[in-house]
Amino acid sequence: MNEEIVKAQPEKLTKADITKSWIRWFAYAEVSNNFERLQALAFCGAMTGILQKLYKDKADLAAALKRHLAMYNTEGNWGCIINGISIALEEKAASQIHKEEDEEEEVGEDAIVSVKTGLMGPVAGIGDTIDFGTMRPILMGIFIPFAMAGSAFCALLPVIIQSIYTIVFGYGLYQKGYTAGRQSILEILQSGRIQTVITSASVLGMFMMGALSASYVKLTTTLTIGTAMKAIPVQPLIDQLAPRLLPLLVVMGIYIFLIKVGPKYIRIVTFLLVVSLVGAALGII
């Protein structure tokens, strides 16, 4: 009888267990995406080994697997911290099953699901803003000119740098989420460092986008102003007033369209194509 009780006790999780869980999440976070549950299969798959060590009773294990198959979606890199927090909560919930008295705070199924649901949106907003809205465009902006100059290695550097960053940062967040539990995300959000990073990266990103717009958006006009003496070209006058003004107006016009109307990219491309063809046919651009 004592032997059966010992077997029913949850096993102690090790750092290797957390690392294996992270590897599974890192490998499949975006692979198993589907319209019904999004990243739920990847999340549950990453938790499988953990749950098998924590819940020796088949009914408890089935219930734990089922709750992690609910719809789940976040940014895969920053979302690692939610996985770590969930593991810490599951470990505490499993330990409470075998105790007659609750600890300082009871952790049940509702608490675990609520933490996941409550965090996946805010964390996704942070991750998408930093990783894909800021870091990726900056890397592309830095290395695209070198790639266009003929450097094949520079063409691969954005992928290499972001992959290394994702591995190192994601692993750290996974472990941080487990060791600090729910307090870890509060420390990150309340410290103010996230907003500082986002603001700094956004400013740098705007500089890079401005440089790219000036370098790669080409628009000049062949219009002239007729006078009694001679025809005066308009483009030199524009260049003296504000160099690269026409490309700036094009970029700002597209930006305003995206803000007011939305990401209607086919309309934008069609409009630019029609205007370019008509302008070239009339000889004004």
**Residue in this structure with the two tokens 């938790």, named with its chain if needed:** 47
| Residue 128 and residue 113 in one domain | no
| Residue 229 and residue 255 in one domain | yes
pLDDT at 42 over 90: yes
Give the up-direction half-sphere exposure of residue 98: CA atoms within 13 A in the CB hemisphere.
17
Confidence of residue 65 (pLDDT cuts 50, 70, 90): very high
Q: pTM to 2 decimals?
A: 0.65
157 exposed, middle or buried (CB, 10 Å; 0-12, 13-18, 19+)? middle
| Residue 130 and residue 223 in one domain | no
CA distance 182 to 111: 11
Better pLDDT: 187 or 246: 246
| Residue 29 and residue 93 in one domain | yes
In-domain check, residue 175: no
| Residue 12 and residue 109 in one domain | yes
**Residue in this structure with the two tokens 């009780």, named with its chain if needed:** 5
In-domain check, residue 173: no
pLDDT at 177 over 80: yes
Query: Is the distance from CB of 85 to CB of 52 less than 8 angstroms?
Result: no
pLDDT of residue 283: 79
**Residue in this structure with the two tokens 């675990």, named with its chain if needed:** 112
Coil/strand/helix, residue 231: strand
* Mean pLDDT, residues 36-47: 92
In-domain check, residue 176: no
Query: Range with the lowest mean pLDDT among 9-13, 24-28, 165-169, 174-178?
Result: 9-13
* Mean pLDDT, residues 28-47: 90
pLDDT at 99 over 70: no
* Mean pLDDT, residues 148-167: 90
Query: Range with the lowest mean pLDDT among 1-5, 61-65, 77-81, 223-227?
Result: 1-5
pLDDT at 96 over 80: no
Q: Which residues pair with 38 in a beta bridge?
A: 72
Q: Which residues pair with 6 in a beta bridge?
A: none
Confidence of residue 9 (pLDDT cuts 50, 70, 90): confident
202-218 tens-digit pLDDT: 666 666 666 667 777 78
| Residue 39 and residue 75 in one domain | yes
pLDDT of residue 195: 61
| Residue 17 and residue 114 in one domain | yes
| Residue 189 and residue 236 in one domain | no
CA distance 270 to 254: 12
Coil/strand/helix, residue 99: coil
**What is the torsional sign of CA 197, 26, 167, 154?**
negative
12 exposed, middle or buried (CB, 10 Å; 0-12, 13-18, 19+)? exposed
CA distance 139 to 133: 11
Query: Is the distance from CB of 86 to CB of 75 less than 8 angstroms?
Result: no
**Residue 208 neighbours by CB distance under 10 Å:** 17
* Mean pLDDT, residues 247-251: 86
In-domain check, residue 9: yes
In-domain check, residue 271: yes
pLDDT at 104 over 90: no
| Residue 142 and residue 112 in one domain | no
* Mean pLDDT, residues 155-166: 92
Q: How far is CA 124 from CA 43, 74, 168, 198, 221, in A?
A: 15, 5, 18, 14, 44
Q: Which of 199, 173, 192 is nearest to 184 (CA)?
A: 173
| Total structural domains within the chain | 3
* Domain hosting residue 144, numbered range: 122-167+181-213
The DSSP 8-state label assigned to residue 129 in this structure reads: I
Q: Are strands 224-226 and 231-233 parallel, antiparallel or unpaired?
A: antiparallel
| Residue 115 and residue 131 in one domain | no
In-domain check, residue 203: yes
Confidence of residue 35 (pLDDT cuts 50, 70, 90): confident
Mean pLDDT for the chain overall: 81
| Residue 263 and residue 249 in one domain | yes
pLDDT of residue 150: 87
Q: What are phi and psi of 38, to 5 degrees?
A: 55, -110
| Residue 227 and residue 157 in one domain | no
